[in-house]
Amino acid sequence: MKSTHLWAGQIASNSLLETYLDQSMYLKAWAKYDHELPTGNEEQDAEPSPNLRCQFCKDLDIDTYDEDMMIFKYYNHLVDADTIAKDLHVDSQQLSKLFEAYKIENCNAVIAYHEDNLKLKKTSQPTLLKHLGQLDNPEMPAGSKTIKSHYLWIGAVKLSKAEIIKSTGLKGKEIDSLNFHYSKEKKRIDETIMLEVQDFDLAERMVLNLDHMGISPTAHAVLLLSADNSFKIDIEEISKTLGMDFIAEFATG
């Protein structure tokens, strides 16, 4: 049975929470490091700086985290332990005890990370959210929401949905949705995302991620793919097959 580490507190905005967890710069640097041949120059061939990690990873002294094992929530109003327990699919009694132990009545932000091997070091440094400890029963009950993974690619290729499915080996029953948009003239990526992604919070996260990564705001083609996170997408193979640039993966629950 996996255990869940829990962080909670009150913060100013959803964008602050997303920035705290944003690993895009670090992962982009590693993607380049992993795919480019050594030059022989020690400085140029050096591994990406750990300073590129998100603040969450710096606070925990880890290289990165598994997005599939994390759920984070921001609320526009203060909520209690019962509301959070319902949203995170954890035991409300255990969560209430943690809130009582840390004298927390309510909060507007929470991070739940399902990871047995996470070893936290004691630190006096302040963090965005307070670590409350671990819950022992984070298994999702029957009928609860399934965590979904959403993937974003951009490029300049013209393809049909049938061609994408055939060339990548994706199966319709394994994916929830596949939206591909192509235009002879480059169009704004954020406008395509906001029009096609019904979940506003998810769309906003995608757009903010593009901004953080410094991606060109326009492209000929945009591919949006959603699937149950239990189905593993071969991101590298799909990118290579389609000739498109992978931007990021996003989880919702």
Environment class of 110 (CB within 10 Å of its CB; exposed 0-12, middle 13-18, buried 19+): buried
Residue 6 has pLDDT above 60, yes or no: yes
Most confident segment among 41-50, 110-119, 172-181, 235-244: 235-244
Instruction: Please report the pLDDT score of residue 224 as a whole number.
Output: 92
**Strand, coil or helix: what is 110?**
strand
Nearest one of 115, 190, 178 to 150, comparing CA atoms = 178
CA separation for the pair 158, 156 (Å, rounded): 7
Instruction: Please report the pLDDT score of residue 120 as a whole number.
Output: 75
What 8-state DSSP symbol labels residue 128?
Answer: S
Weakest-pLDDT range from 68-72, 74-78, 221-225? 68-72
Environment class of 196 (CB within 10 Å of its CB; exposed 0-12, middle 13-18, buried 19+): middle
pLDDT by residue (tens digit) across 91-132? 888 899 999 988 999 999 999 988 777 777 665 567 899 999
Give the residue with greater pLDDT, 204 vs 11.
11
Label residue 139 by pLDDT band (50, 70, 90): very low
Question: Residue type at 54?
Answer: C
Nearest one of 212, 180, 209 to 196, comparing CA atoms = 180
58: which residues sit within 8 A by CB, 6+ positions away?
50
pLDDT by residue (tens digit) across 21-38? 999 888 888 877 656 666
Instruction: Please report the pLDDT score of residue 196 as a whole number.
Output: 85
pLDDT by residue (tens digit) across 164-178? 888 888 776 668 888
Instruction: Please report the pLDDT score of residue 145 as a whole number.
Output: 44
Nearest one of 153, 167, 149, 162 to 231, comparing CA atoms = 149
- Average per-residue pLDDT in the chain? 83
Percent of the chain with pLDDT over 90: 33
Weakest-pLDDT range from 121-125, 134-138, 218-222? 121-125
Residue with token string 């029963």: 137
Label residue 146 by pLDDT band (50, 70, 90): low
